[in-house]
Amino acid sequence: MNWYLKVLQQYADFNGRARRTEFWMFVLFNMIFSIIANVLDYMFGTVYIFAGIYGLAMLIPGLAVSVRRLHDVGKSGWMILVSLIPVIGFIWLLVLYVTEGTPGENQYGPNPKEEL
């Protein structure tokens, strides 16, 4: 949960690097909270009110942590646009997201593993 909160604290910070742990913990908790929002919509009979509000609130932090994750593997944040290519774009981004970050400092900043 601390990783999720760390991403929220860096709400619109597109600079720097994000470790795999930070990215994937955010994805995990984001999925859990999205499911909870959908369950609330179902329980109250609303049409994507809770899920829509939650999704909009998490749009910027999700993009920011994705860009920082790409920075960690030495890629530009604009590489996220490769997801617009059907199927292959998603697979390529998934590969980048699971790849270990560049050791040492790169053009986007110091290695986040060494900052601990």
- Output the six-digit token pair for 47: 């049409």
Strand (E) or helix (H) holding 19? none
Burial class (CB in 10 A: 0-12, 13-18, 19+), 116: exposed
Counting as low any pLDDT under 70, the low residues of the chain are: 115-116
Sketch the domain layout of the chain as residue ranges: 2-98
pLDDT of residue 100: 94
pLDDT of residue 114: 80
